[in-house]
């Protein structure tokens, strides 16, 4: 019996971890609209969302039906089998959701828990079928219709939500335009009344449907009076908003966004709580039933009683709510997932998180042709009017004024996202369709972004690639959840207590590694962020020096490590170098993508400093490319098991690298001090460096003539020399541009 008590304790420990990683992922559902539009201060938004989460968790009655009997029939499973099943589910869920959070990808906790239950139940069922003579068929153990309903719900919610977001956002933008405040007095009260009515109904049928005070009669009354509730809400809110608009300067969309955020947060906590604590509670209930029965043989005690309804103690809901709120405030991974969603929908182009691939490029081309075909057949007057409604210059001007506090999109789109998501989830709940809140809110947001013109020609392929990647991740969630839970269930079935201990060590190790990786990724991203929004001459010079010092230092480091890896014929070292280089390359892409935003915020009198900054970044980017050309052939050379370079060759290359490093350090010092002595030293040392490169080349030719080296050796050696020469030439360009623009030019 003590073993099963340990398992129950482990389940609750895993439940705490699952609450943390689950909330980190699902926070994007109710935060992206408010945070992206900056409808209020971040702390105020978090207070509203935290209140919604806490109220939703505490008001939930906690009927954890899916975990206990939604996917499998518990009456056919013994107590020992049920505990193995639940343990496999929780271990899988913690690992899987943490992995998605680490990479900033929103996924569905509903789908993950359902397919983990399915995978573990199938595994245990197959073990029973293989090892018991009187076993039932797999179809009798598993409630497969539930899983099929979830899959169909994914497809339905993805398509309908995206189309709903596109249509409503397009019509709303036509109504209000980007300069929406001019039209608030005309249409604000009616549109706001409609939005508040949708959110009010959503709160009634989704947010508090499981609240303890919601009796069956009250639920039935709400369903029977749906249209009366909606119409009364619409009329009441419209009148209130109209009066406020007449006598105040209220921005109707702000309260809509905040109330919508509260509603979605409350619904999330009240309904998705099962995804995090449903399985541990089911395990606890199973253990209670087992103990109450007198602790019979765990392999023969069948869990028929688990099919009944067992409400969750209020104190557990209170604790779960507190953990969720604390996680919401403190989780850095939640901010990463949120950032992915907001970046895919921001109004302006910039550093894109996803690369384009063939499908996204094809979609963009085909839709561009379709749009061109339709536009050619529309009246000119209509096209001009539509273009004026979608002219986002007023929004762009507001962004420039706001600087680093600029919203990613305006509050019209945020309100549309929350309203449409509320309507669709309400309809789905009423019709008993298995819609996922993650899928609905994300796809509505993406559809609204497309309709709003956020996916322009500069960013469309990358945004579509991102959306397809996220959607692909959802289906991957189902597959991986099923597979991993299946494997863990089999391991626990045969491995017993030893397997349990090893699994917990694995969970701890995975959480540690992903935390370490995520922390490093956040630090790297912080280095590339432009936190200052007034780019004076002093600021730009400081940023130029910072980029030079950091990038040149990292480039010499990767070259040095690559030469060491070549010398020792160590592929492991070289592959690590390749990853380090990739990080430098990605950072330069992020920096370059912010050219326009930086230059837009440079005062006219400091434009020379802006020009210097752009040229410094350009030349650094070229140097990064040349370093890539240098290290990639080295990696291929060792990977193909070719003969290493001789110690003499390595020594020649390292001597050249030492000269190159000294040159880079002097360039940084020149930018820091403007020293004429540094300038003379750099100009005078270029020719000696080039002469050293030529000398090394002549020595290599002599080695070839003496048959001391082979063809592969010579090709690689000459290639490295050529790229070192190119790096020296680009360092000289940095010197010249500093001399022209700062020391001798207008910026001096």
Instruction: Tokens for 689, please give them.
Output: 């460096």
Output the pLDDT for position 656: 93
- What interhelical angle do 571-592 and 460-528 show, nearest 10? 100
Three-state SS at 418: helix
Please compute, for residue 324, the number of CA atoms within 13 A of its CA located in the half-sphere on the CB side. 33
Nearest 5°: the CA angle 739, 743, 744 is 85
Residue 546 pLDDT > 80: yes
Rounded Cα–Cα distance for residues 444 and 166 (Å): 8
DSSP state of 250: -
Output the pLDDT for position 654: 92
> For 510-526, how does the pLDDT look when each residue is reduced to its tens digit (9 = 90+)?
777 776 765 666 555 55
- Whether the CB-CB separation of 389 and 180 falls below 8 Å is answered with no
Residue 557 pLDDT > 90: yes
Rounded Cα–Cα distance for residues 739 and 748 (Å): 9
Rounded Cα–Cα distance for residues 671 and 114 (Å): 59
Q: What is the pTM of this model?
A: 0.67
Output the pLDDT for position 651: 92
- What interhelical angle do 332-345 and 2-37 show, nearest 10? 40
Beta strands of 278-436 (E only): which ranges?
A: none
- Whether the CB-CB separation of 27 and 106 falls below 8 Å is answered with no
Output the pLDDT for position 664: 93
Residue 460: pLDDT band with limits 50, 70, 90:
low
> For 394-432, how does the pLDDT look when each residue is reduced to its tens digit (9 = 90+)?
777 777 676 666 777 778 888 888 888 877 877 776 665
Output the pLDDT for position 554: 92
Count Cβ atoms below 10 Å from residue 744 Cβ, excluding itself.
10
State percent of the chain over pLDDT 90.
14
> For 90-135, how does the pLDDT look when each residue is reduced to its tens digit (9 = 90+)?
888 888 877 776 766 667 777 787 888 888 889 988 988 888 887 7
DSSP string, 498-564: HHHHHHHHHHHHHHHHHHHHHHHHHHHHHHH--------HHHHHHHHHHHHHHHHHHHHHHHHHHHH
Q: How far apart are the first and last CA of the chain?
A: 81
Residue 628 pLDDT > 90: yes
Residue 64 pLDDT > 50: no
Least confident of 49-53, 592-596, 653-657: 592-596
Residue 403 backbone class (left: φ over 0; alpha: ψ -120 to 50; beta: rest):
left
Residue 80 pLDDT > 70: yes
Instruction: Tell me the mean pLDDT in the region 25-42.
Output: 75
Return the higher-pLDDT residue of 304 and 685: 685
- Whether the CB-CB separation of 471 and 465 falls below 8 Å is answered with no
Which of the listed CATH numbers 3.30.70.3400, 2.40.50.320, 1.20.58.220, 3.30.70.100 matches domain 534-743? 1.20.58.220
Output the pLDDT for position 695: 93
Instruction: Tokens for 1, please give them.
Output: 């019996």
Please compute, for residue 740, the number of CA atoms within 13 A of its CA located in the half-sphere on the CB side. 11
Instruction: Tell me the mean pLDDT in the region 534-544.
Output: 76
Q: For residue 420, give the nearest of 445, 389, 450, 455 by alpha carbon.
A: 445
Range ranked top by mean pLDDT from 350-364, 489-503, 666-680: 666-680
> For 167-176, how does the pLDDT look when each residue is reduced to its tens digit (9 = 90+)?
888 888 888 8
Residue 458 pLDDT > 50: yes
State percent of the chain over pLDDT 70.
79
Start-end of CATH 1.20.58.220 domains in the chain: 534-743
Rounded Cα–Cα distance for residues 157 and 422 (Å): 13
Range ranked top by mean pLDDT from 171-185, 457-471, 522-536: 171-185
| One-letter-per-residue 3-state SS of 296-332 | CCCCCCECHHHHCCCCCCHHHHHHHHHHHHHHHHHCH
> What would you report as the CA-atom Rg of the chain, rounded to the nearest whole angstrom?
31
Rounded Cα–Cα distance for residues 656 and 643 (Å): 22
Residue 50 pLDDT > 60: yes
Output the pLDDT for position 530: 46
Rounded Cα–Cα distance for residues 55 and 638 (Å): 60
Rounded Cα–Cα distance for residues 338 and 34 (Å): 11
Rounded Cα–Cα distance for residues 231 and 251 (Å): 23
Instruction: Tell me the mean pLDDT in the region 460-468.
Output: 72
Range ranked top by mean pLDDT from 29-33, 77-81, 442-446, 487-491: 487-491
Instruction: Tokens for 170, please give them.
Output: 């397009």
> For 699-740, how does the pLDDT look when each residue is reduced to its tens digit (9 = 90+)?
989 988 888 888 888 889 999 999 999 999 999 999 888 888
> How many residues does this entry show for the chain?
748
Output the pLDDT for position 597: 63
Residue 51: pLDDT band with limits 50, 70, 90:
confident
> For 265-278, how does the pLDDT look when each residue is reduced to its tens digit (9 = 90+)?
877 776 666 667 77
Nearest 5°: the CA angle 707, 709, 710 is 100
Residue 363 pLDDT > 90: no
Residue 657 pLDDT > 90: yes
**Over the chain, what is the mean pLDDT?**
79
Residue 341 pLDDT > 70: no
Return the higher-pLDDT residue of 67 and 664: 664
User: What φ, ψ does residue 211 adopt, rounded to 5°?
Assistant: -65, 150
């Amino acid at each position: 019996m003590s073993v099963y008590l340990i398992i129950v304790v482990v389940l609750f420990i895993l439940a705490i971890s699952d609450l943390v990683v689950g909330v980190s992922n699902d926070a994007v559902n109710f935060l992206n609209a408010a945070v992206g539009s900056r409808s209020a201060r971040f702390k105020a938004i978090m207070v509203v969302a935290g209140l919604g989460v806490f109220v939703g968790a505490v008001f939930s009655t906690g009927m954890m039906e899916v975990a206990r009997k939604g996917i499998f029939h518990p009456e056919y499973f013994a107590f020992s089998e049920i505990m193995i099943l639940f343990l496999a589910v929780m271990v899988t869920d913690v690992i899987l959701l943490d992995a998605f959070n680490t990479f900033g990808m929103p996924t569905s906790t509903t789908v993950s828990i359902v397919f983990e239950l399915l995978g573990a139940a199938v595994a245990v069922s197959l073990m029973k079928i293989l090892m018991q003579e009187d076993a039932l068929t797999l179809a009798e153990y598993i409630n497969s219709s539930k899983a099929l309903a979830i899959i169909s719900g994914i497809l339905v919610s993805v398509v309908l939500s995206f189309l709903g977001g596109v249509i409503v956002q397009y019509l709303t933008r036509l109504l209000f335009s980007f300069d929406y405040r001019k039209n608030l007095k005309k249409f604000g009260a009616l549109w706001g009344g409609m939005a508040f009515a949708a959110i009010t109904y959503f709160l009634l049928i989704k947010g508090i449907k499981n609240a303890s005070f919601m009796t069956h009669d009250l639920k039935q009354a709400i369903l029977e009076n749906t249209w009366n509730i909606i119409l009364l809400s619409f009329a009441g809110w419209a009148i209130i908003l109209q009066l406020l608009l007449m006598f105040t300067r209220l921005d109707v969309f702000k309260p809509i966004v905040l109330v919508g955020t509260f509603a979605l947060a409350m619904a999330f906590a009240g309904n998705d709580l099962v995804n995090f604590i449903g399985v541990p509670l089911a395990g606890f209930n199973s253990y209670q039933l087992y103990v109450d029965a007198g602790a019979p043989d765990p392999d023969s005690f069948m869990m028929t009683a688990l099919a009944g309804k067992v409400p969750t103690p209020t104190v557990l809901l209170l604790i779960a709510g507190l953990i969720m709120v604390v996680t919401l405030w403190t989780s850095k991974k939640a901010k990463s997932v949120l950032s992915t969603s907001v970046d895919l929908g921001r109004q302006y182009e910039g550093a894109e998180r996803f690369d384009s691939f063939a499908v996204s490029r094809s979609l963009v081309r085909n839709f561009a042709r379709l749009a061109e075909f339709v536009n050619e057949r529309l009246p000119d007057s209509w096209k001009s009017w539509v273009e004026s409604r979608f002219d986002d210059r007023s929004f762009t001007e507001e962004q420039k004024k706001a600087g680093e506090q600029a919203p990613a999109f305006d509050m019209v789109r945020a309100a549309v996202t929350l309203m449409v998501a509320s309507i669709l989830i309400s309809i789905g709940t009423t019709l008993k369709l298995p819609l996922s809140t993650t899928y609905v809110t994300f796809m509505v947001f993406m559809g609204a972004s497309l309709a709003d013109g956020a996916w322009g020609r500069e960013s469309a392929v990358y945004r579509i690639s991102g959306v397809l990647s996220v959607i692909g991740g959802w289906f991957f969630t189902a597959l991986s959840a099923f597979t991993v839970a299946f494997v863990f269930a089999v391991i626990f079935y045969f491995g017993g207590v030893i397997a349990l201990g090893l699994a917990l060590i694995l969970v701890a190790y995975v959480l540690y590694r992903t935390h370490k990786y995520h922390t490093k990724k956040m630090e790297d991203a912080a280095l590339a962020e432009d936190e200052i929004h007034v780019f004076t001459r002093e600021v730009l010079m400081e940023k130029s020096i910072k980029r030079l010092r950091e990038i040149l230092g990292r480039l010499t480091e990767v070259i040095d490590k690559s030469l060491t890896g070549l010398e020792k014929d160590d592929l492991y070292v070289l592959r690590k170098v390749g990853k380090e280089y990739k990080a430098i390359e990605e950072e330069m892409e992020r920096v370059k993508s912010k050219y326009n935003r930086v230059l837009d915020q440079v005062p006219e009198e400091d434009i020379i400093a802006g020009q210097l900054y752009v040229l410094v970044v350009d030349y650094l980017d070229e140097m990064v490319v040349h370093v890539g050309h240098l290290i990639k052939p080295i990696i291929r050379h060792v990977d193909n098991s070719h003969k290493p370079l001789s110690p003499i060759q390595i020594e020649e290359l390292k001597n050249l690298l030492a000269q190159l490093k000294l040159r880079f350090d002097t360039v940084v010092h020149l930018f820091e001090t403007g020293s004429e002595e540094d300038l003379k030293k750099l100009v005078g040392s270029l020719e000696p460096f080039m002469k050293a490169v030529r000398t090394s080349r002549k020595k290599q030719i002599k080695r070839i003539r003496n048959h001391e080296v082979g063809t592969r050796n010579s090709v690689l050696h000459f290639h490295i020399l050529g790229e070192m020469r190119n790096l020296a030439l680009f360092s000289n360009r940095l010197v010249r541009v500093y001399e022209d623009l700062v020391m001798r030019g207008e910026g001096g």
